[in-house]
Amino acid sequence: MNDLIIQNIQELILPKSTDKPLKGRELDELEVVDNGTVVIKDGKVVYSGPHTDDYEAKEVIDASGKVVSPALVDAHTHLIFGGSREHEMSLKRQGKSYLEILESGGGILSTVKSTREISEEDLFKKAEHDLLTMIKHGVLTVESKSGYGLDKENELKQLRVSNRLAEKYNLNMKHTFLGPHAVPEEAESNEAFLEEMIELLPEVKEYADFADIFCETGVFSVEESKRYMEKAKEAGFKVKIHADEIDPLGGLELAIDEGAISADHLVASSEEGKAKLKNSDTVAVLLPATTFYLDKNDYADARGMLNNGGAIAVATDYNPGSSVTNNLQLAMAIAALKLKLSPNEVWNAVTVNAAKAIDADAGTINQGDQANIVIWDAPNHEYIPYHFGINHAQKVIKDGKVIVDNEFKLD
């Protein structure tokens, strides 16, 4: 006997199972089944496809008028941090740039101070609240970065919290060491601090899957980023990079040359970098909510990357300074509006391709897959990025069991 059948599904979204990320025109290829059925047993998908009466189960969910999809994958978050930075809103209104706020001791350095001061238990509780919000909005696979400690003690504190969250909720979480996220005020120089972070790589390997670096004007150069990435690979890490967010330094080209699993931001990437994506499996993780929050006019050139045959994903970049949202559905809407992605492209970018960007077994619900599923209170898959700013997730199913039920009922 099966455990659960979801039947009468208005639209069943079935991203393609693939060994490599979807590239170029492939991103617009998405199987959408009308009147679908999903059958689950022992936490796995037994069947997903057109309506069938061939199965029985202990529980049946009627999804008439609903959309069903794989649970979402948020492939770029800064989930673990102390404090908040709402006071910077007034600086933004005065026209202060991100780098100007950073240079005045705000920005990342403000969050570093708060993260250093908060206890590990309080940091855990704060991150737990934010993670549960993500889950309520349909995300069951999350990448979580450090980078607000900028010293051994506090980078490890962040990574321990991230690992504890994954263990407590038995979640598919990936953990990223982003020690070189900024240069702390006490550092003698960029070079000295970078060496300190390189020396920390063997110790953080116990807690982290990836190593990441912020390659940007005023932070770390392409040459410094290259040295860090190569040392990280020697230490057994897969590598990522925050690249070309503000200035076109060549971070995307470096990521491709170094075989990075992803290059993230890429608002200012060069034409040469975008052209190189074609012959690479590096995923360009685009963060449109960041551009929106920073009130910038220029968004990452998603269409150019796809036209060059590249692979892209979309994520929130949830953090306290430049993308203060842990609602991936909102990032989906901004991606549709500002990155000019089709609905099919948006869905693939937050499921299968997002999973490839963090080397996670997630983003699909084909036979044999883990039954991590969302039932959406929406008439079709185009409606969810269209009707923005609210939570459309009605039920979130993890390993075949309903763990979130947002259905509103009046007595």
- Residue 409 is predicted with a pLDDT of 64
DSSP 3-state of 348: helix
Give buried/exposed letters for 92-130 (b at 16+ CB in 10 A, else e). Answer: beeebebeebbeeebbbbbbbbbbbebeeeebbebbbee
Per DSSP, the three-state class of 373 is strand
Residues whose CB is less than 8 angstroms from the CB of residue 176 and which lie 6 or more positions away in sequence, other chains included = 143, 144, 145, 146, 208, 209, 210, 211, 212, 240
d(CA 120, CA 165): 12
pLDDT at 93: 79
321 is in an annotated binding site: yes
Tokens of 249: 């330094």
- Triad 244, 191, 114: Cα angle to 5°: 75
Contact criterion met (CB below 8 Å) for 324 and 302: no
189 is in an annotated binding site: no
**Residue ranges per structural domain of the chain:** 1-69+362-403, 70-355
Does the annotation place 19 within a ligand binding site?
A: no
Helices within 152-217 (DSSP H only) = 152-169, 190-204
Q: Are strands 72-74 and 393-398 parallel, antiparallel or unpaired?
A: unpaired
Distance CA 215, CA 154 (A): 21
Alpha-carbon distance of 241 to 215, in angstroms, equals 7
pLDDT for the residue numbered 12: 98
Q: Is 308 annotated as a binding residue?
A: no
381 is in an annotated binding site: no
* Amino acid type, 75: A
Positive or negative, the CA dihedral 169, 170, 171, 173 is positive
How far is the C-alpha of 344 from the C-alpha of 336, rounded, in Å?
10
Chain centroid to Cα 380, Å, comes to: 24
Cα 342 to chain centroid distance, Å, stands at: 19
DSSP state of 77: B
What SS3 state is found at 12?
strand
93 in a known ligand binding site: no
CATH of 1-69+362-403, one of 1.10.3720.10, 3.40.50.12780, 3.50.50.60, 2.30.40.10: 2.30.40.10
Residues 321 and 78 sit within 8 Å (Cβ to Cβ): no
138 annotated ligand binder: no
- Tell me: is residue 181 an annotated ligand-binding position: yes
Question: Annotation-wise, does 345 bind a ligand?
Answer: no
Distance CA 409, CA 411 (A): 6
Joined together, the tokens standing for residue 182 give 């900024």
Q: What is the pLDDT along the chain (411 residues), one digit of tens a residue?
A: 999 999 999 999 999 999 999 999 999 999 999 999 999 999 999 999 999 999 999 999 999 999 999 999 999 999 999 999 998 888 877 888 767 887 776 788 899 999 999 999 999 999 999 999 999 999 999 999 999 999 999 999 999 999 999 999 999 999 999 999 999 999 999 999 999 999 999 999 999 999 999 999 989 999 999 999 999 999 999 999 999 999 999 999 999 999 999 999 999 999 999 999 999 999 999 999 999 998 899 999 999 999 999 999 999 999 999 999 999 999 999 999 999 999 999 999 999 999 999 999 999 999 999 999 999 999 999 999 999 999 999 999 999 999 999 876 665
Spell out the CATH class of 70-355. Answer: alpha beta
Got the DSSP string for 29-70? Answer: --EEEEEEEEEEETTEEEEEEE---S--EEEEEE-TT-EEEE
- pTM equals 0.97
Q: What is the pLDDT of residue 181?
A: 97
